[in-house]
Amino acid sequence: MAQPNLNETSSSNFHIAMFPWFAMGHSIPFLHLSNELAARGHRISFLLPKKAQIQLQHLNLHSDLIAFCSVTVPHIEGLPEGTETASDIPISLTPLLATAMDRTRQQIQGFLVSCGVNDRKIDMIFYDFAHWVPEITRGLGIKCFCYGVVCAAVTAMIIVPARNMPKDRPVTEEDLRDPPPGYPSSTVVMLPGREVQSLMFITMPYGDGINFYERLTTAVKGCDAFCIRTCREVEGVFCDYLEAQYKKPVLMYGFY
């Protein structure tokens, strides 16, 4: 399957949007990727809350090409006033932050549309938890890339369609104990007990009407290509498995 090469451009370079989950552990890898792309002459519009901009500005190595664009995080009942990122709240409240992110959809769509009107058309967008991005980009002629900041082995173990989560009853630890069908390793596995118990979070609500597993599998199913921060020498078999599971190109771009 042919894969896009961001190093090969036409006479004009790409205008790329970045929209990571509102957490430093996601925004920083997105910015590392942005720096690499900007070093090749591509222009980046990085969508994130104002508070995160302040925390990340010292990592922007190409301020002439990487522009931070503010996203207003709406207040959700149950979140402290002024919450913008996962750093502002205990982990138990992150599902509400996911709801807040989903309610920025109109802002993100408006930004992408306005760029096209003003001759600054976005060519592609990288996203992760905002599973609805492909629904927006389809009508705008924008390529969308789901960017996984977690290693390919963990993603292949947990976030694949072959998990086939039961919908007619609650998910149990027994359902999560074994790797999904076709998983390519007998040694890189979850250990019984605490590690398997930790997987139960993927079945919990993570936003309005969606759980964590559904959010991430939907995000990958809708993209044009799945990008992972890894390399073939380390995790090639897991990336091949993900490509077969989602029937999408999997792009490996190293450990930026």
From first to last of the 256 residues of the chain, give the pLDDT tens digit.
Answer: 334 444 444 446 999 999 999 999 999 999 999 999 999 999 999 999 999 999 999 999 999 999 999 999 999 999 999 999 999 999 999 999 999 999 999 999 999 999 988 778 999 999 999 999 999 999 999 999 999 999 999 999 999 999 988 777 888 888 888 899 999 998 888 777 777 888 888 999 999 999 999 999 999 999 999 999 999 999 999 999 999 999 999 999 887 6
Domain residue limits at 39: 15-252
User: Does residue 242 fall inside a structural domain?
Assistant: yes
Task: State the number of CA atoms in the 13 A half-sphere of 70 facing the CB.
Answer: 6
Q: Could you give the CA distance from residue 121 to residue 16 in angstroms, rounded to a whole number?
A: 9
User: Does residue 2 fall inside a structural domain?
Assistant: no
Number of domains the chain contains? 1
Q: Could you give the CA distance from residue 75 to residue 97 in angstroms, rounded to a whole number?
A: 9
Q: State the pLDDT at residue 6.
A: 45
Q: State the pLDDT at residue 9.
A: 41
User: Does residue 81 fall inside a structural domain?
Assistant: yes
User: Does residue 208 fall inside a structural domain?
Assistant: yes
Torsion of CA 60, 65, 66, 71, to 10 degrees: 150
User: Does residue 6 fall inside a structural domain?
Assistant: no
pTM here is 0.91
Do 101 and 74 touch, CB atoms closer than 8 A? no
E-only strand ranges, the chain: 15-19, 43-48, 66-70, 124-127, 143-148, 225-228, 250-252
User: Does residue 170 fall inside a structural domain?
Assistant: yes
Do 37 and 15 touch, CB atoms closer than 8 A? no
User: Does residue 207 fall inside a structural domain?
Assistant: yes
Residue 112 structure tokens = 């992408």
User: Does residue 3 fall inside a structural domain?
Assistant: no
Q: What CATH number does residue 137 fall under?
A: 3.40.50.2000
Q: Could you give the CA distance from residue 36 to residue 198 in angstroms, rounded to a whole number?
A: 34
